[in-house]
Amino acid sequence: MSPTALQVLPVTGLPEIEQGADLGALIAKAVELRPGDIVLVTSKVVSKAEGRLVRADDREAAIDAEAVRVVARRGRTRIVQNRQGLVMAAAGVDASNTAPGTVLLLPADPDGSAREIRARIHELTGRQVAVLLTDTFGRPWRNGLTDVAIGAAGLAVLEDHRGRVDSHGNTLGLTVTAVADELAAAGDLVKGKATGTPVAVVRGLGALVTAADGEGIRPLIRPIEDDMFRLGTSEAVREAVTQRRTVREFSDEPVHPEAVRRAVAAAVTAPAPHHTTPWRFVLLESERARTALLDAMLAAWRTDLRELDGWDEAKIARRTARGDVLRKAPYLVVPCLVAEGSHAYPDARRAAAEREMFTVAIGAAVQNLLVTLAGEGYGTAWVSSTMFCRDVVRETLALPAHWDPMGAVAVGRPAAAAPDRAARAVEPFIAVR
């Protein structure tokens, strides 16, 4: 789109909007629209016309009803994803400028509302305009509020500059402009927040107006899988913890070594007794190292099951097949307990308790490792098998004699999405005194 002059005009003289109001007709009467105009309508007046004013003595309950996902929470403030897919404060539930005991919800279908207003204006004037519904948003990392588009008709909400050449001859590779949001913010400059001017018109950008209603606002909403900041800090931690699963089938995608090192950095922040650091992590990044370890462990397991347990070959094969999750994983981590700094006690009771303290510490470290890897998008399976043949593991991996292998963690991208898991009620696991 070539540079062009434009005008942003407030639409004055509109009455107080009540339920059932014909917004398209009111706008067409209040301003002489031209073909190619872009009409910006504050969502609040659309909500009023559509009867979205509801009784709600408890605003929090109204937010709960409109929200589908909590993104971040601080005190009573919540950033949520609402039913329209928008991520915003309080799900767009507005208690300002409404009667006590009522709140105003966003339009149920902002794109549909924009299409209706556009069609009504065309019916009455014969002129083809675009319509945007706007609402006020805060923005991550930026103070202050601005208007953005939450509904659209007759306008492509994004302008893709990729493949174009800039003034220096450089080909643009990433730039996609949020045209609808730029228009919404421009309109807010003349509408204002307290002037009672809910509609503005942008004139001079007729090239943006399309004959068809278009896709609406959907292209502006980033898919959750592409959103690197989809959760606040505490929500991200809870999400990683609750979504962590034992994964037994991995894709062929390699594991990034730096991701594992970031997970280890989180692991070694775990609590430990006596100000010690009782964790070591052996990273098996080569297939050769993984195969050597697993072959040695398999031989040791087969000997024990045959000679100590008296199992036949068929039973041994079924039991050792459980280790396939380690063999098929593209990356293995062997956490080890190092009890340096532990206290020596002459009696067995206190000596056992001392060992248990260090065992709890390695468990906490491994949990940190697993949760951090889940946050990186990796699946894991913590398998105990190295604990049953520690001497073999130490010899194969050339580990010091005082390093105690505490299982092995298989790491990789899950081959398939994990099935939904019902949340566990916490009460059965709690005792209050």
Taking the C-alpha atoms of residue 154 and residue 421, their distance in angstroms, rounded to an integer, is 42
The whole-number pLDDT of residue 432 equals 95
The whole-number pLDDT of residue 168 equals 63
Q: For 4-55, how does the pLDDT look when each residue is reduced to its tens digit (9 = 90+)?
A: 689 999 999 999 999 999 999 999 999 999 999 999 999 999 999 999 988 8
The whole-number pLDDT of residue 90 equals 84
Is 43 in contact with 52 (CB distance < 8 Å)?
no
Residue at 154: amino acid letter: G
The whole-number pLDDT of residue 294 equals 94
Using alpha carbons, select from 160, 270, 275, 276 the residue that is nearest to residue 220. 160
Q: Which two tokens stand for residue 112?
A: 């549909």
Sorted by sequence, the CB contacts under 8 Å of residue 198 that are 6+ apart come out as 14, 17, 41, 42, 44, 45, 191
The whole-number pLDDT of residue 194 equals 57
The whole-number pLDDT of residue 375 equals 83
Q: What is the pTM of this model?
A: 0.63
Sorted by sequence, the CB contacts under 8 Å of residue 386 that are 6+ apart come out as 297, 334, 393, 405, 406, 407, 408
Residue at 19: amino acid letter: Q
Residue range 238-429 in CATH 3.40.109.10: yes
Question: Under CATH, domain 7-52+106-226 is a member of which superfamily?
Answer: CofE-like (3.30.1330.100)
**Sign of the torsion angle spanned by Cα atoms 47, 52, 53, 59:** negative
Q: How many alpha carbons fall within 13 Å on the CB side of residue 129?
A: 32
Q: For 180-195, how does the pLDDT look when each residue is reduced to its tens digit (9 = 90+)?
A: 999 999 999 999 765 6
Using alpha carbons, select from 348, 354, 350, 359 the residue that is nearest to residue 405. 359
Domain boundaries, the chain: 7-52+106-226, 238-429
Give the chain's residues under pLDDT 70. Answer: 1-4, 97, 161-168, 171-174, 193-195, 231, 233-236
